């Protein structure tokens, strides 16, 4: 693959490298600049466009490119830096970074993500905000353990109540947003029919993992980072490990998986068989159950069906 584009995203600008033309262009990271960037990409018609995840600065550009049907992949910056070191490109400027990203796209060929539109982007932002509020509430609750002064305790209590109100407000916004999107509503209804998957987790999955239902089971497991990775060399057989992929999705699937292995009949039997009969470590069994849960949901959306344990 030689016809690729790398985009280095910063707060104020977008540095673009068109690999087969060996051309560098710079655009403002603004509505007008992003439109110019999209128009340029439409003229070039690349096989793949890659950019790094940069704390949200890439969201709008990725969404606009996706809306136009361009193949876009947002990757972990660490993968790109590891690739740069591997090919000996240790110098670092925005222009060089864009070129390295384009080379990474050509040689590593990351899987393009599913279509991102403005509605999906907004839902993703809402679910991310909900998680931020939950993290803030945990932090405040932890502070109550070390607070002796009544005034400090009162202040913490007030903050927790305010955060709770904000979480309720965001929950309503997420639900309203889903209700107004028939396709998203159908997907979340099917996902939330799985024992262990609630409405919030279903909303997170349709926003953070739009590829769910379009990939095969191996691809979706690798995308989330729950596929076992071989670590063998010669006669040595290393321990299989998981990792990489979309860490945020993996982290937020952990608690629903714990619920599923207790209350979902399919996952409960699967987990118990791994622990009791095969002697697997409990954490290994949980990750395996997470992978199975993910593959089940992927199959459900692919086949357009709700939870039917007898068919799985």
Q: What is the pLDDT of residues 151-165, one digit of tens each?
A: 888 899 999 999 999
pLDDT confidence tier of residue 229, bands split at 50, 70 and 90: low
User: Distance between CA atoms of 211 and 200, rounded to whole angstroms?
Assistant: 18
For the segment 45-102, what is each residue's pLDDT rounded down to a tens digit?
999 999 988 877 788 888 888 888 889 988 888 889 999 999 998 888 889 999 999 9
Q: Which of 64, 75, 71 is nearest to 117 (CA)?
A: 64
Mean pLDDT of 209-236: 76
pLDDT confidence tier of residue 136, bands split at 50, 70 and 90: very high
What's the pLDDT at 121? 74
What's the pLDDT at 231? 59
The residues with which 48 forms a beta bridge, in sequence order, are 4
What's the pLDDT at 234? 61
User: Distance between CA atoms of 95 and 23, rounded to whole angstroms?
Assistant: 10
The residues with which 237 forms a beta bridge, in sequence order, are 232
CB-CB contact of 8 with 51 (8 Å)? yes
User: Distance between CA atoms of 133 and 166, rounded to whole angstroms?
Assistant: 8
Q: What angle do CA 225, 231, 232 make, to 5 degrees?
A: 150
Name the least confident of 149-163, 225-239, 256-270.
225-239
Judged against a pLDDT cut of 80, whether residue 212 lies above it is answered with yes
pLDDT confidence tier of residue 281, bands split at 50, 70 and 90: confident
pLDDT confidence tier of residue 235, bands split at 50, 70 and 90: low
User: Distance between CA atoms of 98 and 284, rounded to whole angstroms?
Assistant: 38
Judged against a pLDDT cut of 80, whether residue 254 lies above it is answered with yes
CB-CB contact of 14 with 35 (8 Å)? no
- Both tokens assigned to 143: 């502070």
Name the least confident of 5-19, 33-47, 79-93, 107-121.
107-121
Judged against a pLDDT cut of 70, whether residue 195 lies above it is answered with yes
Q: Please list, in sequence order, all residues whose beta carbon lies within 8 angstroms of the beta carbon of residue 37, skipping any fewer than 6 positions away.
A: 7, 14, 16, 25, 27, 61, 65
What's the pLDDT at 78? 86
User: Distance between CA atoms of 222 and 209, rounded to whole angstroms?
Assistant: 12
Angle between helices 247-263 and 199-208 (to 10 degrees): 150
DSSP state of 241: B
Mean pLDDT of 197-221: 85
What's the pLDDT at 112? 84
What's the pLDDT at 176? 86
Q: Which of 208, 10, 217, 230 is nearest to 114 (CA)?
A: 208
Question: Which is higher by pLDDT, 6 or 244?
Answer: 6
User: Distance between CA atoms of 124 and 147, rounded to whole angstroms?
Assistant: 35
Question: Which is higher by pLDDT, 254 or 235?
Answer: 254
CB-CB contact of 244 with 76 (8 Å)? yes
Mean pLDDT of 206-221: 84
Q: Give exposure, 258-277, as e/b (b: 16+ Cβ within 10 Å).
A: eebbeebebbbebbeebbee
């Amino acid at each position: 693959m030689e016809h690729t584009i790398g985009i280095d995203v910063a707060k104020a600008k977008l540095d673009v490298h068109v690999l087969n033309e060996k051309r560098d262009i710079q655009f403002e990271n603004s509505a007008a600049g992003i439109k110019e960037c999209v128009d340029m990409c439409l003229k070039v018609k690349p096989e793949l466009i890659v950019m790094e995840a940069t704390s949200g600065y890439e969201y709008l550009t990725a969404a606009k490119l996706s809306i136009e049907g361009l193949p876009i992949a947002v990757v972990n910056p660490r993968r790109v830096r590891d690739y740069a070191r591997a090919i000996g490109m240790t110098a670092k400027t925005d222009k060089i970074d864009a070129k390295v990203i384009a080379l990474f796209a050509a040689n590593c060929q990351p899987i393009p993500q599913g279509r991102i539109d403005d509605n999906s982007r907004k839902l993703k932002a809402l679910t991310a905000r909900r998680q931020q509020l939950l993290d803030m509430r945990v932090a405040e609750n932890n502070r109550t353990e070390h607070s002796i002064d009544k005034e400090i305790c009162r202040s913490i209590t007030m903050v927790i109540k305010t955060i709770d109100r904000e979480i309720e407000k965001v929950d309503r916004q997420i639900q309203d947003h889903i209700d107004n999107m028939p396709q998203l509503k159908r997907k979340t209804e099917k996902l939330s029919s799985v024992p262990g998957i609630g409405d919030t987790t279903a909303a997170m999955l349709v926003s953070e993992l739009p590829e769910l239902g379009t990939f095969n089971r191996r691809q979706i497991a690798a995308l989330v980072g729950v596929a076992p990775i071989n670590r063998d060399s010669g006669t040595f057989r290393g321990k299989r490990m998981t990792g990489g992929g979309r860490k945020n999705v993996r982290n937020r699937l952990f608690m629903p998986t714990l619920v599923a292995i207790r209350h979902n009949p399919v996952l409960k039997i699967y987990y118990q068989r791994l622990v009791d009969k095969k002697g697997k470590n409990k954490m290994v069994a949980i990750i395996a159950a997470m992978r199975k849960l993910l593959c089940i949901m992927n199959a459900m959306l692919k086949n357009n069906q709700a939870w039917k344990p007898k068919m799985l």
